[in-house]
Amino acid sequence: MSTATGAVAPGRAPRRIGPFEVPAVGLGCMNLSHAYGVAPSAKDAERLLLTALEEGVTLFDTAALYGFGANEELLGRVLAGHRDRIVLASKCGMTGVGGRRVIDGRPETLRRTVDEALARMRTDVIDLYYLHRLDRQVPVEESVGAMAGLVEAGKVRALGLSEVSARTLRRAHAVHPIAALQNEYSLWSRNPEQGTLAAAGELGVALVAFSPLARGFLTATPPDLDSIPAGDIRRGMPRFEERHYPDNLVLRRELEKIAGDAGLTLPQLALGWVLSRGPHVIAIPGTRSVTHLRENLSVLDAEVPAEALDAAGRVLNATTVHGSRYNEATLPEIDTERCGRAG
């Protein structure tokens, strides 16, 4: 955690996820196939993945949902020949069925999904397998019990959960050890601070922060509302609505000044803040740009003044951000604790 004086340097020392050690920054692969406008070409996606590998990334995160299997196929095609160099993470329990996103945590579905994922990723075992969403119709004990069977069968090495509360984490951990909890965490999404950050640390669970750069808002160039394409998930997120976005840009300009005064880029400041929250926190920013990939990884060698971290946290947080992180239709699907007016 940051202190009043000195500097925080995430450094190259590995952080732990269950039986694995990985750098503090991994790669979220979703936007290579899913959710953020038009996907890059196969050639560009392959270049991004191989560059990440060359730059020292070992944790690659995908899911059955992403591109309705296309993202797992991409990682399998590009990284299968480097399997011994990476920690391969994927997710089950939320997939594409008939062109629609479906949450289904039934044991029989999870057992089928893992076999499909193994085939797509051209591997015999998945290192880290998450329950992507809690199925409100299925007790988490049943879903995790089925996933524990996948570990026993040698198809999975470690288990994780995504977008769940501290209470659900504890219930699942009582059934089978949970290696990682993947929840959204960034300067503007503080939900883990309502319980899961502390619970994960107590239980020895890695907190894997997705969208640590606030869905592109804290990257080098923030999204222009007019340029966000149809079908991009940000179109349905209140923080990117016209009624909220200009006010959030005002806060962003304050962060840019804090970063500049500290000799940092804004992504370095934002990622440094996330990684300073605890030694069990790992960030998995996604990108389609090799330049941005390298900038994200540069935080591992940066010294981020604690005063800058503290100032950034005061400027952008759950009480200052404008708009909730999901719309009203989506919020009931999310099991995480809500946070201030941020949802």
* Domain boundaries along the sequence of the chain: 21-216+274-303
Determine the 3-state secondary structure of 214 from DSSP: coil
pLDDT average, residue stretch 156-175: 98
Whether 130 has a pLDDT exceeding 50, the answer reads: yes
- How many CA atoms, within 13 angstroms, populate the side-chain half-sphere of residue 313? 20
- The 10s digit of each residue's pLDDT in 102-112 is 999 999 999 99
Whether 251 has a pLDDT exceeding 70, the answer reads: yes
Return mean pLDDT, the chain.
Answer: 95
Which residue from 166, 232, 231 is spatially nearest to 194, judged by alpha carbons? 166
Kindly give, in sequence order, each residue whose CB lies less than 8 Å from that of residue 200, ignoring residues fewer than 6 positions away: 169, 181, 192, 206, 207, 280
Q: What is the pTM of this model?
A: 0.95
Q: Which of 66, 130, 185, 245 is catalytic?
A: 66
pLDDT value, residue 252 = 98
- How many CA atoms, within 13 angstroms, populate the side-chain half-sphere of residue 31? 19
d(CA 149, CA 146): 5
Of the listed ranges 72-76, 95-99, 184-188, the least confidently predicted one is 95-99
Residue 99 gets which letter from DSSP?
Answer: T
Pair of tokens at residue 124: 């015999």
Whether 1 has a pLDDT exceeding 50, the answer reads: no
pLDDT value, residue 340 = 66
Q: What is the dihedral of CA 317, 37, 210, 18, to 10 degrees?
A: 180
From start to end of the chain, where are the E strands? Answer: 7-8, 15-17, 20-22, 27-28, 59-61, 87-92, 94-97, 100-103, 126-131, 156-162, 178-184, 206-210, 281-284, 304-305
pLDDT value, residue 2 = 44
Whether 342 has a pLDDT exceeding 70, the answer reads: no
Tokens 């000044």 correspond to what residue?
257
The reply to whether 130 belongs to the active site is no
- The 10s digit of each residue's pLDDT in 212-238 is 999 999 999 999 999 898 889 999 999
Q: 304 forms bridges with which residues in the sheet?
A: 8
- Burial of residue 46 (number of CB atoms within 10 Å: 0-12, 13-18, 19+): middle
Q: Which CATH architecture has domain 21-216+274-303?
A: Alpha-Beta Barrel (3.20)
Confidence at 10, pLDDT banded by 50, 70, 90? confident
Pair of tokens at residue 76: 């399998």
Write down the H helix ranges in 65-106: 70-79
Determine the 3-state secondary structure of 113 from DSSP: helix
Asked if residues 186 and 252 have their Cβ atoms less than 8 Å apart, the reply is no
pLDDT value, residue 195 = 97
Determine the 3-state secondary structure of 176 from DSSP: coil
- Burial of residue 289 (number of CB atoms within 10 Å: 0-12, 13-18, 19+): middle
pLDDT value, residue 343 = 62
